[in-house]
Amino acid sequence: MAIYAVGDVQGCYAELARLLEDIRFDVAADKLWLVGDLVNRGPESLAVLRLVKSLGDSAITVLGNHDLHLLAVAEGAAELHRTDTLDEILNAPDRDELLYWLRNRRLLYAQDGYVLVHAGLLPQWSVMQAESLAREVEAALRGNDYATFLAHMYGNSPHNWDDGLSGYKRLRVIVNAFTRMRICTKEGKMEFKFKGEVQDIPKGYLPWFDVPRRASIHSTVIFGHWSALGLLHRENVIALDTGCLWGGPMSAVRLDDRQLFQVICTNPVAKDW
């Protein structure tokens, strides 16, 4: 059995299908770990959802910000953006089945010293604490009142974690860290406007994974979300958003030997930032 971790797909179905062919993915024996953002901006989000769902227990995907945005739009808790490509899902005959499946995905997955998450972990969170916090949000998404949670999910504040946080403020910080964060201060204060390259990070901030004495440093965190960062392959950090959507490759790493596999995007989307 092999485990393959795959970067952001964002509706790039053709590239995902070619990548699965290239790695000779065996649905009966192998596992596929996806870092989230299965949908949006790319041309075939509906096909991506149907494919990953069809893989059953062979695929583990965590939720990304675009996946959550789809759920919020479907519930009337958010409006479509100009660059969204979600209409095909929203109008699909199996829409409800797909959205229910997506709503029941994890926010974080940990196994054998690896942590799979879309964007990152706040530096003060141990893996055990992060798992517990992820379960809180997952419970809200799977509960009967999930639409109310989605309506309160958006916002940039609070910017940092406090164990005393409660209610929707608590859940919002957890969601923002796991699905939106790229940089933060040494104290864990997050900043959400920055999307650029490491050398352009604002003064006082660091990539979340470079904060000294990060509590999750002894696990290997696999994440995406930051396309300008590109491929980063360290002993305890694997960043896999290599910008397939924008014309870069779609990337996968086989975890047992850390071999890299890539396929090139055939129909890039123009950047809007």
Q: What is the per-residue pLDDT across 61-116, written as a single tens digit (0 to 9) for each?
A: 999 999 999 999 999 999 999 999 999 999 999 999 999 999 999 999 999 999 99
**In this predicted structure, what is the pLDDT of residue 270?**
58
Residue 174, both tokens: 């957890």
Q: Is residue 273 part of a domain?
A: no
Q: Is residue 21 part of a domain?
A: yes
Q: Tell me the H-state helices in the chain.
A: 13-22, 45-54, 65-74, 87-90, 95-103, 127-142, 146-152, 167-179
User: For the chain, what is the mean pLDDT?
Assistant: 96
Q: Tell me the H-state helices in 111-166.
A: 127-142, 146-152
Single out the residue of 135, 141, 169 nearest to residue 154, CA to CA: 169
Q: Is residue 60 part of a domain?
A: yes
Which residue's entry shows tokens 């870092």?
35
Residue 62 dihedral angles phi and psi, to the nearest 5°: -100, 160
**What CATH number is associated with residue 68?**
3.60.21.10
Residue 245, both tokens: 């959507």
Q: Is residue 104 part of a domain?
A: yes
Q: Is residue 34 part of a domain?
A: yes
Long-range contacts of 65-68 (CB under 8 A, 24+ apart): 65/36, 65/37, 65/118, 65/119, 65/179, 65/180, 65/225, 66/10, 66/36, 66/37, 66/38, 66/39, 66/40, 66/41, 67/36, 67/37, 67/38, 67/39, 67/102, 67/105, 68/150, 68/153, 68/175, 68/179
Q: Is residue 152 part of a domain?
A: yes
Has residue 197 got a pLDDT over 80?
A: yes
Single out the residue of 23, 38, 13 nearest to residue 262, CA to CA: 23
How many structural domains are present in the chain?
1
Domain that holds residue 143: 3-264
Q: Is residue 208 part of a domain?
A: yes
Q: Is residue 270 part of a domain?
A: no
| Whole-number percent of the chain with pLDDT over 90 | 96
Single out the residue of 39, 37, 35, 30 nearest to residue 11, CA to CA: 39
pLDDT band (50, 70, 90) for residue 268:
confident
| Strands 232-233 vs 237-239: parallel, antiparallel or unpaired | antiparallel
**In this predicted structure, what is the pLDDT of residue 105?**
98
d(CA 3, CA 256): 7
pLDDT in tens, 34-46: 999 999 999 999 9
**In this predicted structure, what is the pLDDT of residue 273?**
45
Residues 6+ apart with CB under 8 A from 15: 9, 244, 250, 263, 264, 265, 266
